[in-house]
Amino acid sequence: MRIAIMGSGGLGGYFGARLAQGGADVHFVARGKHLEAMRSQGLRIEGPEPLHVKDVKVTDRPADIGEADVVLLCVKLWDTQQAIEQLRPIVGPRTTLISFQNGVLKDQTLRAAFDARQIMGGVGYVATTIEAPGVIRQTGPMQRLIFGEFDGSRSPRGEALLAACLAGGIKAELSEHIQREIWQKFVFLVGLSGTTTTMRKTIGPIRSNPQTRAFLLDVMREVVAVGRAQGVDLPEDFADRAAMERADNVSPDMTSSMHHDLERGNRLEVRWLAGGVVELGQAKGVPTPLNRAIHDILALHAEGGPHA
Ligand SMILES: NC(=O)C1=CN([C@@H]2O[C@H](COP(=O)(O)OP(=O)(O)OC[C@H]3O[C@@H](n4cnc5c(N)ncnc54)[C@H](OP(=O)(O)O)[C@@H]3O)[C@@H](O)[C@H]2O)C=CC1
Ligand SMILES: CC(C)(CO)C(=O)C(=O)O
């Protein structure tokens, strides 16, 4: 199975390395200094389960890879359109595409570019970032990939990718409810990213302080209300129980990739996270004042640049 990893940073680099370790034919797409370092030193994962993949197949020209069986889309949301254009030469009629990016609108973007039957849904759980060119740092032991067909079937292509993931030590699951999984992660992520980035703290202190804990919960409740209004099968108390439980069980030093981006002066995905909640809420008449506040507070940082 030829697997192309489009974007080899925190998410794509981590799971691509594990897939390669398990014996899959992995081709990474990277750029800049990260590409050079991967070419000269391979790809290193630091953290609870360190790994060094020495001979990585990596390019900045996806066309060189040839037709892929599976493409894992792992670029930041603002890079999606450019990535899609670069991917066209390696997407044949039998290629499957899965976006493990965050957010709930990503698959719409893929469907606008490719045949909808080629697209499976995906969710990635891991806390990773590019620490230095060629080096990905993982915080905490969490790592999990969930993917599935949007019609709920267990397809041969899903089973094949599952086997490749399991061989690489990835905690992977083939889901029969992938749309709900995508929203469940969205609820947690919007809460985590909105609070850690605006408060500039990791989850530990945020969940321990009653005032910030209540804020986190209310942010996630808004996402649940919007999801339910969109017809997603989310229990009404999903934020209060499952999402809060997840927030309580992750490592206290865990933060969101958006918080890392703020600290580094990178662009932020806030437009698709809290901003996406506001947009989808407006379409259904669901009030989302806290998500609006998060989106507005971060507006001056959304395009990147140093912050005081
Ligand atoms: N990191 C995490 O813990 C998790 C992240 N996610 C989601 O995954 C997505 C990716 O995030 P993350 O991995 O953190 O992001 P990173 O910035 O760490 O990685 C993305 C990588 O893709 C590269 N890239 C972008 N466009 C291209 C291109 N056209 N050609 C070659 N390389 C390209 C970027 O290069 P450059 O740096 O030059 O822009 C960067 O190295 C986001 O939607 C995020 O929300 C989901 C779960 C966990
Ligand atoms: C919440 C987390 C770390 C889980 O994978 C994530 O997706 C992100 O911060 O982008």
What is the structure's pLDDT at 125? 95
> Is 215 inside any structural domain?
yes
Do 85 and 163 lie in a common domain? yes
What is the structure's pLDDT at 307? 61
> Is 308 inside any structural domain?
no
pLDDT tens digits for 59-99? 999 999 999 999 999 999 999 999 999 999 999 999 999 99
Do 202 and 93 lie in a common domain? no
DSSP the chain: -EEEEE--SHHHHHHHHHHHHTT-EEEEE--HHHHHHHHHH-EEEESSS-EEE-S-EEES-GGGG-S-SEEEE-S-GGGHHHHHHHHGGG--TT-EEEE--SSSSHHHHHHHHS-GGGEEEEEEEEEEEEEETTEEEEEEEEEEEEEE-TT----HHHHHHHHHHHHTT--EEE-S-HHHHHHHHHHHHHHHHHHHHHHT--HHHHHHSHHHHHHHHHHHHHHHHHHHHTT----TTTIIIIIHHHHHHS-TT---HHHHHHHTT----TTTTHHHHHHHHHHHT---HHHHHHHHHTGGGTT-----
261 C-beta closer than 6 A to ligand 1:
no
What is the structure's pLDDT at 217? 98
> Is 288 inside any structural domain?
yes
Do 125 and 245 lie in a common domain? no
Do 144 and 193 lie in a common domain? no
What is the structure's pLDDT at 152? 97
Residue 287 C-alpha to ligand 1 middle, in angstroms?
Answer: 31
Do 33 and 164 lie in a common domain? yes
What is the structure's pLDDT at 139? 87
Do 196 and 153 lie in a common domain? no
In a mutational test of the pocket of ligand 1, which residue from 38, 65, 73, 74 has the highest number of ligand atoms less than 8 Å from its CB? Answer: 74
What is the domain range of residue 188?
180-301
In a mutational test of the pocket of ligand 1, which residue from 11, 84, 126 has the highest number of ligand atoms less than 8 Å from its CB? Answer: 11
**Domain stop point among 135, 161, 176:** 176
90 C-beta closer than 6 A to ligand 2:
no
Number of domains in the chain: 2
Q: How do the pLDDT tens digits run along the chain, 308 residues long? A: 999 999 999 999 999 999 999 999 999 999 999 999 999 999 999 999 999 999 999 999 999 999 999 999 999 999 999 999 999 999 999 999 999 999 999 999 999 999 999 999 999 999 999 999 999 999 888 999 999 999 999 999 999 999 999 999 999 999 999 999 999 999 999 999 999 999 999 999 999 999 999 999 999 999 999 999 999 999 999 999 999 999 999 989 989 999 999 999 999 999 999 999 999 999 999 999 999 999 999 999 999 987 64
**Domain stop point among 176, 208, 223:** 176
ipTM score of the complex?
0.98
Q: Which atom belonging to ligand 1 lies closest to the Cα atom of 13?
A: 13
Q: What CATH number should be reported for the domain holding residue 289?
A: 1.10.1040.10
